């Protein structure tokens, strides 16, 4: 029997090194190399023979023109917000990783998904953290009755693969991947070596049999999936819960999706019966004020394939020391840039003031469309002058003070009109060609936008 070799793996980027070093030579992170036992590879001539056509693992080279380019068939879960972030449903052989803070609803969501799927697609739910009795109690609390659901309490990945091969389910849920271990690796569950080996076996099984595998992943205090980043590269789809468990609402975002659009979001509300879909997510990201208040402007973000209204709130106050810049839901460096543009091209200096900016509802916006709303909200708070509550604003601000167009301008305006807003300040490049039911104020520069509201 060949002797197992030792390597060192970076927990941040997954790079391997033959010997330990204080710093990873690939990503530059310090003290991230952990020992990893490499088991000798076993030759298998038939491993790719059972792989369905079009999946990784085929060894015979083919001409690209001979490959069928048809869209992969999807099977809807039956939970519309989850289907949205998945790109329309599940694809045979796909491996989906769901991450989030403890108690945020990962297991609840997957148990509800299995409930919807089990009639059409036989499912197997494998729990490595709870007993079968605890799983049954959870299903009872959620009002879920699935007498035909196959459940299993196991942490050995070889046993799970063998049992799944005999049972032949269409969907396998593993809760969670950090509790699994492989008999061929001597380290403890959750270590770098165990995560790499167990994930590799699960992915290989999914591709060879066409089984959909849903994995639950723990996250670190920084919000990333615990373990080496290579784990995220191995799977087909990575979904993250963004809100913390103290909030009633849950936002799940597709960070990676080989079968659909990335950055798509689904919104749920946590109720006694589990996670309930929010059909109109724009409503939960808006505050209800009896009258207009300073420092509040509504913008229209575009997350994935749909526009989403969000309220940007700003508080500008006299600093008692070193001025602070704090953002929630937006990039803090972007705020510093926007305040500099406001000073240089509009003459308003906020250098001696604390500036706090928040996106209501806990959603995070990763695009530049809220730039105009952030500047208007900050100026509104600084002057103590409220902005009309029937107004929305979006647009990217350049360093020269120009207001640049953003993608999907007409979709954003339609959503604002549908939510009852009457006026919109938008970049001139996003001026609609037809009437969308909302008065559009198209501006080319920041000074024109300020003239429209002052």
pLDDT digits (tens, 9 = 90+) for 143-174: 998 888 999 999 999 999 999 999 999 999 99
pLDDT at residue number 7: 77
For residues 123 and 64, the model is more confident at 123
* CB-based contact 203:235 (threshold 8 Å): yes
SS3 94: coil
For residue 206, is pLDDT > 90? Answer: yes
Say which residue the tokens 């068939």 belong to: 73
Q: For position 115, what pLDDT does the model report?
A: 94
pLDDT tens figures, 236-252: 999 998 876 667 888 89
The string of pLDDT tens digits covering residues 357-402 is: 999 887 889 899 999 999 999 999 999 999 999 999 999 999 999 9
Distance CA 87, CA 270 (A): 23
Structure confidence at residue 189 as a pLDDT band (50, 70, 90): confident
**pLDDT band with cut points at 50, 70 and 90 for residue 286:** confident
Residue 180 to residue 197: CA distance in whole angstroms: 10
Which tokens belong to 18?
């033959």
Q: What is the pLDDT of residue 4?
A: 59
- What percentage of the chain reaches a pLDDT higher than 90? 60
Mean pLDDT, the chain, integer:
87
Specify the pLDDT at position 40.
Answer: 54
Range of lowest pLDDT (115-124, 190-199, 307-316, 391-400): 190-199
Assess whether pLDDT exceeds 80 at residue 65.
yes
Task: Count CB atoms within 10 A of the CB of residue 264.
Answer: 21
Q: Does the pLDDT value for residue 439 go beyond 90?
A: yes
Q: What is the predicted pLDDT for the residue at 244? A: 65
pTM: predicted TM-score of the whole model, two decimal places:
0.78
Contact 375, 397 (CB under 8 A): yes
């Amino acid at each position: 029997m060949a002797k197992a070799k030792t390597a060192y793996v970076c927990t941040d980027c997954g790079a391997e090194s033959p010997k330990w070093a204080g710093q990873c030579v690939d990503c530059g992170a310090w003290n991230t190399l952990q020992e990893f036992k490499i088991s000798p590879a076993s030759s298998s001539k038939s491993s790719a023979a059972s792989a369905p056509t079009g999946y990784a693992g085929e060894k015979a080279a083919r001409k690209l023109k001979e490959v069928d380019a048809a869209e992969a068939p999807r099977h809807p879960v039956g939970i519309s917000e989850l289907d949205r972030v998945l790109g329309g449903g599940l694809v045979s052989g796909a491996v989906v990783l769901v991450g989030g803070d403890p108690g945020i609803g990962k297991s609840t969501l997957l148990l509800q998904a299995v409930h919807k799927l089990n009639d059409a697609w036989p499912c197997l739910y494998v729990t490595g953290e709870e007993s079968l009795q605890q799983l049954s109690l959870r299903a009872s609390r959620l009002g879920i009755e699935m007498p035909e659901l196959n459940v299993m309490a196991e942490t050995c990945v070889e046993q799970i693969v063998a049992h799944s091969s005999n049972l032949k389910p269409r969907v396998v849920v593993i809760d969670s991947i950090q509790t699994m271990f492989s008999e061929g690796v001597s380290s403890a569950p959750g270590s770098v070596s165990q995560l790499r080996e167990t994930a590799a076996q699960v992915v290989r099984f999914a591709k060879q049999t066409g089984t959909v595998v849903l994995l639950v992943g723990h996250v670190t205090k920084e919000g990333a999936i615990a373990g080496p980043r290579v784990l995220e590269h191995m799977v087909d789809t990575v979904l993250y819960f963004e809100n913390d468990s103290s909030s009633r609402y849950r936002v799940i975002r597709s960070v990676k999706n080989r079968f659909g659009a990335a950055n798509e979001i689904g919104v749920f509300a946590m109720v006694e019966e589990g996670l309930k879909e929010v059909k109109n997510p724009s409503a939960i990201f808006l505050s209800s004020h009896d009258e207009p208040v300073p420092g509040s402007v509504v913008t229209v973000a575009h997350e994935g394939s749909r526009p989403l209204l969000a309220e940007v709130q700003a508080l500008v106050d006299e600093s008692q020391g070193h001025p602070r810049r704090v953002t929630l839901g937006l990039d803090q460096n972007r705020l510093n840039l926007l305040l500099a543009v406001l000073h240089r091209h509009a003459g308003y200096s906020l250098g001696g003031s604390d500036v706090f900016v928040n996106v209501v509802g806990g959603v995070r916006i990763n695009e530049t469309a809220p730039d105009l709303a952030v500047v208007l909200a900050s100026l509104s708070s600084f002057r103590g002058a409220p902005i009309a509550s029937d107004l929305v604003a979006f647009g990217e601000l350049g360093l020269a003070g120009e207001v640049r167009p953003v993608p999907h301008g007409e979709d954003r305006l339609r959503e604002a009109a549908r939510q009852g807003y009457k006026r919109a300040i938008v970049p001139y490049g996003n001026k609609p060609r037809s009437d969308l039911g909302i008065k559009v104020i198209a501006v080319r520069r920041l000074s024109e936008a300020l003239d429209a509201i002052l």
